[in-house]
C-alpha cells in the first residue's frame, strides 16, 4: 500500500510539472546550475539580484559572476554593462536589470558579450485603470490586484504582499520602473489618509524592485475631499491644500513618483472649469511636487462635442500652450489622435510640441483589439508608431526620437502603457496577452527593438521545453522549426489580421457602443453626441466612404509636418493603410491593386477571417509542444476569435453594401449571417468566455 501511494505521489508531481496556469509569465522556473556570485553590498535590491542568479543560472556550472556597482561614462541612469565576468552598473537597480538580461540571454540562447544597455526612457510606467471597489475599467482579466470591495477593503494581507511582490518582479525583469495604481477617472477618495496607508504598503513591497508608485488624481479633490469652495488652480487655499496633501504623501512614501491627471476630458473636472488653461492646472501641481522630486503626467486626451474633427482637437488645444509648462510636467499623448484604434496615424502632437516634454501612452489592454478573447500581439503596432517619421527636425525625426530626449532636451522622459493585469491566474485573461505586457516593457527600455525580436524572446521564455525533461529540444532545432517559427509568424501577423477583419484601409471607431468589442457601424442612438457614434467616423453614403481630413475637409492633415501633410492630403500618395482616415472616396475609386475601393474592402475583410482560421490550424498543430492546460485554453479562445472575426466581416460588408449597392466579389466567401440578425447581437465580451 505504501508503494502504491509513493507511485501516485510521483505521478502527481510529474503531472504538475507539465500543467501550467501561466501565472509564472515569462519567468518560469527551470532547474538551475550552481553559480558563484561576487558582489559588494547587502541591500534588498542586491539580494534580489543574487537570488535570481541562484535560482535561474543556466550558464556553466560553478562559474563566477561579478556584480560591480561602479561609475562608467557609457552607462546612463539605471543602465548596465554586461561583461565577460558579470554585470557592471552605476546603481544597484542597474545591477538587477543587468542580471535579468543575463538570465534572459541564457534562457533564449542569445550571445552574451560585452555590451552596454541604457534605457530609452527614464520613467517606464504602467497605468492601471483600477477602481477602488476592485473593478477595472477596460480590464479583461478579473478584478484589481491592488483594490477590493468587501467588509475590510483596506486590510493588507500576506497574500496581497506576495502577489504585489510577484507583480513587481515581473515588471523589474523587463525594466518597468513605475506603476499608477488607480484609474485616470479617479475617485477623490484615492487621496484620503485611509487609502494612502494602503498605497504605502504597496510602495514598500515594490521599492526593492525599483518600482515607484504614482497616483491618478481628480482635479476637483480640494472641493470634493478637502471641503473647499473651489478647486481653482490659482486659488491660494487650493494651492495650500495640494501642498499639504503632497507633504502627507511623501511623508509616507519618500520615493513617490507623482500624479497622473485626466482633466477636462469626457466629463472629468479640470482647470478650464475655472477659466484656466491646462498649463495653469498642470503647473500648479508641478510646483507643489517639485521640491519632492515628483512629476505630473498630464493627459492630452481631450475633446469636446461639436462640429470640430475630434482627431484634430488635442493638437489644437495643446499646441498654443507649448513652452508654458514646467519642466516636471510631461504631456501624456495616446499613440494616435483618436483613441487606441486598431490602426491610426501617429498623433501630430509628437511632431508638434518642441518646448514641452511629451510621452507616448500605449494601450496594453485590448479595449479595441478583441479584449482577452482575441490573440493580437501589439508590438508591431507600437513599433509602427515609434518608428513613424514626424519630420519635426527633418527626415529621421521619428516618434521615438521626438519623445526620448534625442531630438530635444527634456528634463524627464517617459512612456506609459495602460495595463492588462488582473486577478486571473494567468494575470492577463489570455496567455498570449502576456506578450503585450512583456513587449511594452522591452520597448520602454529599448524603443528600437523589433516586434520580431520581442516575440522570439517571449515565446522562448514562455513556452520553451523544460531542459530537465527535454534537454536537447532547443539544440536539435525541432522545437524551433515546429513550434517557435509558426507561432511567432502567427503573433506577428495577428495585429494586421485584426485590422483586416475589423477596420481596414483607415476605417476607425466603428465598434458597438460601450464595450467596444463587436462591430457596430450602424450604432447611432437618438440624441447621442455624434462623435460617440460610428457613422461620424466612417461617413458612408451612396457617394462613398471615409472621413475627409484634407484641406477641403477638416484640414487635420495640416497638423503634420511636410512632406507628410501633402502626402496625406492626396489620395494618390496617401498610404492606403490610412486612406479612409484622411479621405472620403467613391466606392469605385481605383486602388493600387487595380481593384475598386469596394472590392478592396471585401478582400481585406476576407483575408482577416482566413488569417484567424490559419491561426487555429497553427495552434492545433503545435499541441505536442504545449502543456495541456495552456493549449486547451488558447485553443478555446481561438475558436471564439474565429467566430467573432466572421461576425465582423459579415456585419461590416452587409452594412456598407447598403450604401455601395455593389456585389461582393464572387471569389470572396459569402456572408453566413443576415444583417438584421447581426444588428440584434450584443457581441460583448464576458469574463471567462
Query: How much is the pLDDT for 235?
Result: 98
Integer Cα distance of 281 and 326 in angstroms: 11
Asked if pLDDT for residue 1 goes beyond 80, the answer is no
Q: Are 217 and 186 in contact (CB under 8 A)?
A: yes
Sheet (strand 80-82) strand order: 35-39, 63-69, 86-89, 80-82, 115-117
- Whether residue 541 sits in one domain with residue 404: no
As to burial, measured by CB atoms within 10 angstroms (0-12 exposed, 13-18 middle, 19+ buried), residue 293 is middle
Asked if pLDDT for residue 16 goes beyond 50, the answer is no
Query: How much is the pLDDT for 466?
Result: 73
- Is residue 369 one of the residues assigned to a domain? yes
- Whether residue 270 sits in one domain with residue 203: yes
Integer Cα distance of 99 and 58 in angstroms: 12
Asked if pLDDT for residue 57 goes beyond 60, the answer is yes
- Is residue 318 one of the residues assigned to a domain? yes
User: Is residue 339 annotated as a catalytic residue, yes or no?
Assistant: yes
- Whether residue 113 sits in one domain with residue 128: no
- Is residue 240 one of the residues assigned to a domain? yes
- Whether residue 127 sits in one domain with residue 74: no
Find the helix packing angle between 158-173 and 92-107, rounded to 10°: 70
pLDDT digits (tens, 9 = 90+) for 361-406: 999 999 999 999 999 999 999 999 999 999 999 999 999 999 999 9
- Is residue 145 one of the residues assigned to a domain? yes
- Whether residue 348 sits in one domain with residue 207: yes
- Is residue 108 one of the residues assigned to a domain? yes
Any idea which of 69-78, 197-206, 301-310 has the lowest mean pLDDT?
A: 301-310
- Whether residue 594 sits in one domain with residue 504: yes
DSSP code, position 67: E
Query: How much is the pLDDT for 474?
Result: 62
Query: How much is the pLDDT for 8?
Result: 33
Of all helices (H) and strands (E), which one includes residue 551? none
Question: Which residue in 361, 367, 644, 650 is the catalytic one?
Answer: 367
CATH of the domain at 222: 3.20.20.80
Distances in Å between the Cα of 599 and the Cα atoms of 88, 594, 604 are 58, 10, 9
Enter the C-alpha cell of residue 495. 495585429
CATH of the domain at 101: 3.30.379.10
Neighbours of 466 (CB within 10 A): 16
pLDDT digits (tens, 9 = 90+) for 209-261: 999 999 999 999 999 999 999 999 999 999 999 999 999 999 999 999 999 99
User: How many residues in total does the chain contain?
Assistant: 689
Q: Are 85 and 65 in contact (CB under 8 A)?
A: yes
Integer Cα distance of 139 and 129 in angstroms: 8
Query: How much is the pLDDT for 419?
Result: 98
- Is residue 295 one of the residues assigned to a domain? yes
Integer Cα distance of 480 and 109 in angstroms: 12
Nearest to 499 by CA among 299, 336, 665, 681: 336
Average pLDDT of every residue of the chain: 94
Question: Which residue in 160, 204, 273, 339 is the catalytic one?
Answer: 339
pLDDT digits (tens, 9 = 90+) for 29-53: 989 999 999 998 889 999 999 999 9
User: Is residue 266 annotated as a catalytic residue, yes or no?
Assistant: yes
List strand residue ranges (DSSP E) for 455-597, in order: none
Asked if pLDDT for residue 689 goes beyond 80, the answer is no
- Whether residue 434 sits in one domain with residue 335: yes
DSSP code, position 136: B
SS3 state at 580 = helix
- Whether residue 134 sits in one domain with residue 41: no
Provide the CA 519 distance to its chain's centre, in angstroms. 22
The residue segments making up the domain with residue 78 are 31-117
Q: Are 337 and 554 in contact (CB under 8 A)?
A: no
Q: Does residue 394 or residue 12 have the better pLDDT?
A: 394
How many folded domains does the chain comprise? 3
Last residue of a domain, one of 408, 431, 448: 448
Last residue of a domain, one of 87, 117, 147: 117
- Is residue 15 one of the residues assigned to a domain? no
Q: Is the pTM of this model over 0.75?
A: yes
- Whether residue 130 sits in one domain with residue 91: no
- Is residue 72 one of the residues assigned to a domain? yes
- Whether residue 258 sits in one domain with residue 111: no
CATH of the domain at 589: 3.90.1330.10
Asked if pLDDT for residue 687 goes beyond 60, the answer is no
Question: Which residue in 114, 115, 266, 469 is the catalytic one?
Answer: 266
Going by their DSSP bridges, the two strands 80-82 and 115-117 should be labelled as: antiparallel
User: Is residue 122 annotated as a catalytic residue, yes or no?
Assistant: no
Query: How much is the pLDDT for 676?
Result: 95
- Whether residue 46 sits in one domain with residue 158: no
Query: How much is the pLDDT for 176?
Result: 98
- Whether residue 437 sits in one domain with residue 360: yes
SS3 state at 65 = strand
Last residue of a domain, one of 117, 141, 169: 117
Amino acid at each position: 500500500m505504501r508503494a502504491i501511494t509513493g507511485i501516485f505521489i510521483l505521478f502527481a508531481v510529474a503531472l504538475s510539472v507539465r500543467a501550467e496556469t501561466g501565472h509564472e509569465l515569462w519567468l518560469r522556473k527551470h532547474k538551475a546550475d550552481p553559480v558563484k556570485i561576487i558582489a559588494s553590498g547587502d541591500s534588498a535590491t542586491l539580494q534580489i539580484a543574487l537570488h535570481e542568479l541562484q535560482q535561474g543560472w543556466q550558464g556553466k556550472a560553478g562559474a563566477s559572476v561579478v556584480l560591480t556597482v561602479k561609475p562608467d561614462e557609457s552607462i546612463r541612469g539605471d543602465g548596465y554593462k554586461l561583461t565577460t565576468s558579470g554585470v557592471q552598473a552605476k546603481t544597484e537597480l542597474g545591477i538587477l536589470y543587468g542580471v535579468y538580461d543575463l538570465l534572459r540571454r541564457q534562457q533564449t540562447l542569445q550571445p552574451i558579450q560585452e555590451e552596454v544597455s541604457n534605457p530609452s526612457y527614464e520613467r517606464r510606467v504602467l497605468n492601471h485603470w483600477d477602481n477602488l471597489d476592485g473593478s477595472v475599467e477596460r480590464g479583461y482579466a478579473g478584478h484589481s490586484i491592488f483594490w477590493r470591495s468587501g467588509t475590510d477593503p483596506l486590510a493588507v494581507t500576506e497574500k496581497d504582499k506576495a502577489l504585489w511582490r510577484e507583480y513587481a518582479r515581473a515588471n523589474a525583469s523587463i525594466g518597468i520602473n513605475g506603476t499608477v495604481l488607480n484609474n485616470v477617472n479617479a475617485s477623490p477618495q484615492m487621496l484620503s489618509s485611509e487609502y494612502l496607508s494602503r498605497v504605502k504598503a504597496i510602495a514598500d513591497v515594490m521599492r526593492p524592485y525599483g518600482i515607484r508608485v504614482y497616483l491618478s488624481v481628480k482635479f476637483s479633490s480640494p472641493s470634493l475631499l478637502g471641503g473647499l469652495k473651489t478647486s481653482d488652480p490659482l486659488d491660494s487655499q487650493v494651492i495650500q491644500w495640494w501642498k499639504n496633501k503632497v507633504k502627507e504623501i511623501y511623508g509616507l512614501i519618500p520615493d513617490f513618483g507623482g500624479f497622473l491627471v485626466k482633466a477636462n476630458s469626457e466629463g472629468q473636472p479640470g482647470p478650464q472649469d475655472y477659466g484656466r488653461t491646462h498649463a495653469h492646472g498642470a503647473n500648479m501641481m508641478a510646483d507643489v511636487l517639485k521640491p519632492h522630486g515628483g512629476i505630473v503626467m498630464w493627459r492630452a486626451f481631450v475633446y469636446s462635442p461639436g462640429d470640430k474633427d475630434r482627431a484634430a482637437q488635442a493638437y489644437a488645444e495643446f499646441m498654443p500652450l507649448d513652452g508654458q509648462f514646467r519642466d516636471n510636467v510631461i504631456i501624456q499623448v495616446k499613440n494616435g489622435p483618436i483613441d487606441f484604434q486598431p490602426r491610426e496615424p501617429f498623433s501630430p502632437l509628437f511632431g508638434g510640441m518642441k518646448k514641452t516634454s511629451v510621452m507616448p501612452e500605449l494601450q496594453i489592454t485590448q479595449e479595441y483589439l478583441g479584449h482577452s478573447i482575441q490573440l493580437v500581439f501589439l508590438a508591431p503596432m507600437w513599433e509602427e508608431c515609434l518608428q513613424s517619421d514626424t519630420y519635426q527636425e527633418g527626415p529621421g525625426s521619428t516618434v521615438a526620437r521626438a519623445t526620448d530626449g534625442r531630438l530635444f532636451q527634456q528634463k524627464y522622459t517617459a512612456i506609459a502603457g495602460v495595463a492588462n493585469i488582473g486577478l486571473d491566474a494567468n494575470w492577463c485573461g489570455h496567455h498570449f496577452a502576456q506578450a503585450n505586457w512583456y513587449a511594452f516593457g522591452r520597448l520602454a527600455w529599448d524603443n528600437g527593438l523589433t516586434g520580431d525580436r520581442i516575440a522570439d524572446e517571449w515565446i522562448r521564455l514562455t513556452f520553451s521545453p523544460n531542459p530537465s525533461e527535454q534537454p536537447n529540444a532547443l539544440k536539435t532545432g525541432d522545437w524551433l522549426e515546429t513550434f517557435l517559427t509558426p507561432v511567432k509568424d502567427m503573433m506577428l501577423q495577428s495585429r494586421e489580421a485584426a485590422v483586416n477583419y475589423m477596420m481596414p484601409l483607415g476605417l476607425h471607431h466603428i465598434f458597438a457602443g460601450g464595450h467596444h468589442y463587436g462591430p457596430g457601424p450602424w450604432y447611432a442612438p437618438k440624441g447621442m453626441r455624434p462623435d460617440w457614434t460610428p457613422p461620424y467616423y466612417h461617413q458612408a453614403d451612396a457617394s462613398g466612404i471615409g472621413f475627409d481630413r484634407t484641406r477641403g475637409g477638416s484640414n487635420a492633415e495640416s497638423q503634420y509636418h511636410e512632406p507628410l501633410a501633402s502626402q496625406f492630403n492626396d489620395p494618390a500618395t496617401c498610404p492606403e493603410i490610412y486612406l479612409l482616415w484622411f479621405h472620403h472616396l467613391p466606392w469605385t475609386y481605383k486602388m493600387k491593386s487595380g481593384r475598386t475601393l469596394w472590392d478592396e474592402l471585401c478582400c481585406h475583410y476576407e483575408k482577416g477571417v482566413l488569417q484567424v482560421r490559419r491561426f487555429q490550424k497553427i495552434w492545433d498543430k503545435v499541441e505536442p509542444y504545449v502543456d495541456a492546460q495552456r493549449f486547451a485554453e488558447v485553443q478555446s479562445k481561438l475558436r471564439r476569435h474565429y467566430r467573432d472575426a466572421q461576425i465582423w466581416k459579415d456585419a461590416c460588408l452587409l452594412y456598407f453594401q447598403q450604401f455601395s449597392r455593389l456585389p461582393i466579389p464572387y471569389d470572396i466567401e459569402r456572408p453566413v449571417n443576415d444583417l438584421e440578425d447581426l444588428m440584434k447581437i450584443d457581441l460583448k465580451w464576458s469574463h471567462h468566455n
